[in-house]
Amino acid sequence: MAGATTIVQLRVSDVRFPTSLEQHGSDAMHTEPDYSVAYVVIETDGGHEGYGLTFTLGKGTEVVVCAVEALSAFVVGRTLQEIVGDFRAFYRLLTSDGQMRWIGPEKGVIQLATAAVLNAVWDLWARVEGKPLWKLLVDMEPRKLVSCIDFRYITDALTEEEALDILVKAQEGKCQREEEMLRDGYPAYTTSCAWIGYSDQQLKEEITAVSGVWTRNVKVGADLQDDVRRCRLVRQMIGPDNTLMIDANQRWDVQEAITWVSHLAEFKPLWIEEPTSPDDILGHAVISKALAPLGIGVATGEQCHNRVMFKQLLQASALQFVQIDSCRLGSVNENLAVILMACKFHVPVCPHAGGVGLCELVRHLILFDYISVSASLQNRMCEYVDHLHEHFKSPVVIRNACYVPPKDPGYSTEMREESVRRYQYPQGEVWQTLQATRGHRT
């Protein structure tokens, strides 16, 4: 890395997209989501910039923006070299501050803000190195990689030595796997055909419109008869051999989840996603055990707020698919911890994506997982949702239902300036117009 790069400024914006108008993103619990981000830009004295974000829904964004502002004092004035020279210490500085941790610790709004800030730092680092983030990770020495992880609270499940061992063992075949990814890409599945607010007609059109072999995730949980009808329709359209999953977004109690999903078992879903409260580890374990004889696994993680929760889910055999989220966990640092734990417990990582920018970011993490950690594609795929990519400078590229590895330096977090300006809430012209014409609530 060239000379010292001091971070001299951090800016954060509230950027919202009125997706609820067309029911994009709707599910059994979030019926009117306006997909949004707290968008962070850090600037250095040498003219470099790093971009970070965390995904939110509408009104929640203003709270996250406040939390990012509160964290900015930890970043501004520091050099990039000082931060990444001991990234574990910097992660701890952000997550362990004696006053700020009281509103977490490492969960909720403050962890979302931590993710946004650290995502900007990782983006800056990758840009300064001139590499896409996945390549920065893949090329990094195993010892350096583990030095970015805070192992506090997880050493009973994964020690630093074990993590190192996993990374060292996976060095074998790394070059071939990198070539394979550059050639074929990483398998994706899509949720965007079956949001809960879509009519049956729209659902049919969305399925027909997507070409190639795709695995589909269908929203369920609001009304059993609707779910039966929609799952039947999707199953008929995709045929008996294509993979189907269902996602309840935390709608049920534990027993209710088991009964409800048993009624949908005839459609042969691979998994039920977020059947109950994301915090109910033992509940997930009960559901997993009950659904195993039906061949249905439990997937969760998009609202799993830290590595400690994932640790317990893994220890309790409470999930069969780990759904990391690039903006819910504490950035790359905490995602590395979860990816390595999942590997140790032999549970596949199938990331959550979609929202605003989540596909752009998470493709870096899943490429790293395959090339440098798991070395397996069995039962693995990464979510893809076809909304809002046009607002990013390095948007996702999909070929044959697979993510193509990005080549631009950074973490693909940079948004188009015009998009940020037009969708900024409430002053952007899109919101000004909506409020004047429809009184749109957000």
C-beta closer to ligand LWAPGFLV: residue 33 or 428: 33
Chain Cα centroid distance, residue 378: 20
Which of the following is catalytic: 24, 219, 305, 364? 219
Give the nearest residue (CB) to ligand LWAPGFLV: 25
Q: Is residue 27 within the footprint of ligand LWAPGFLV (CB under 6 A)? A: yes
The one among 5, 54, 215, 249 contacting ligand LWAPGFLV by CB under 6 A: 249
Q: Binds 58, which of Mg ion, ligand LWAPGFLV, none (CB < 5 to 8 A, cut-off by type)?
A: none
Give DSSP secondary structure letters for 107-166.
Answer: SHHHHHHHHHHHHHHHHHHHHHHTSBHHHHHHHS-HHHHHTTS--TTTTTT--HHHHHHH
Q: Binds 334, which of ligand LWAPGFLV, Mg ion, none (CB < 5 to 8 A, cut-off by type)?
A: none
- Binding span for ligand LWAPGFLV by CB under 6 A among 26-34, 75-83, 369-377, 420-428: 26-34
For residue 267, CA distances in Å to 240, 241, 270, 337, 401 come to 9, 11, 9, 35, 22
Spatial separation of the C-alpha atoms in residues 121 and 111, rounded to whole Å: 15
Q: Binds 419, which of Mg ion, ligand LWAPGFLV, none (CB < 5 to 8 A, cut-off by type)?
A: none
C-beta closer to ligand LWAPGFLV: residue 300 or 374: 300
Is the Cβ–Cβ distance between 428 and 13 less than 8 Å?
Answer: no
C-beta closer to ligand LWAPGFLV: residue 72 or 243: 243
| End-to-end Cα distance, the chain | 43
The one among 150, 247, 280, 325 contacting ligand LWAPGFLV by CB under 6 A: 247
The one among 14, 106, 227, 302 contacting ligand LWAPGFLV by CB under 6 A: 302
Q: Is residue 247 within the footprint of Mg ion (CB under 5 A)? A: yes
Site for ligand LWAPGFLV in 185-204 (CB under 6 A): 191
Q: Binds 250, which of ligand LWAPGFLV, Mg ion, none (CB < 5 to 8 A, cut-off by type)?
A: none
Residue with tokens 């997909």: 35
Spatial separation of the C-alpha atoms in residues 157 and 312, rounded to whole Å: 9
Q: Is residue 389 within the footprint of ligand LWAPGFLV (CB under 6 A)? A: no
For residue 403, CA distances in Å to 184, 190, 395 come to 8, 12, 11
Q: Is residue 33 within the footprint of ligand LWAPGFLV (CB under 6 A)? A: yes
Q: Which residues contact 404 (CB under 8 A, 6 or more apart)?
A: 185, 397, 398
Spatial separation of the C-alpha atoms in residues 249 and 68, rounded to whole Å: 26
Q: Is residue 325 within the footprint of ligand LWAPGFLV (CB under 6 A)? A: no
Q: Is omega for the bond preceding 426 within 30 degrees of 0, making it cis?
A: yes
Which of the following is catalytic: 131, 305, 311, 352? 352
Token representation of residue 2: 């060239």
Is the Cβ–Cβ distance between 27 and 195 less than 8 Å?
Answer: yes
C-beta closer to ligand LWAPGFLV: residue 91 or 198: 198
Site for Mg ion in 20-49 (CB under 5 A): none
Is the Cβ–Cβ distance between 56 and 64 less than 8 Å?
Answer: yes
* Catalytic residue list: 219, 352
Contacts to ligand LWAPGFLV by CB under 6 A: 25, 27, 30, 33, 191, 247, 249, 302, 352, 354, 383, 385
Contacts to Mg ion by CB under 5 A: 247, 273
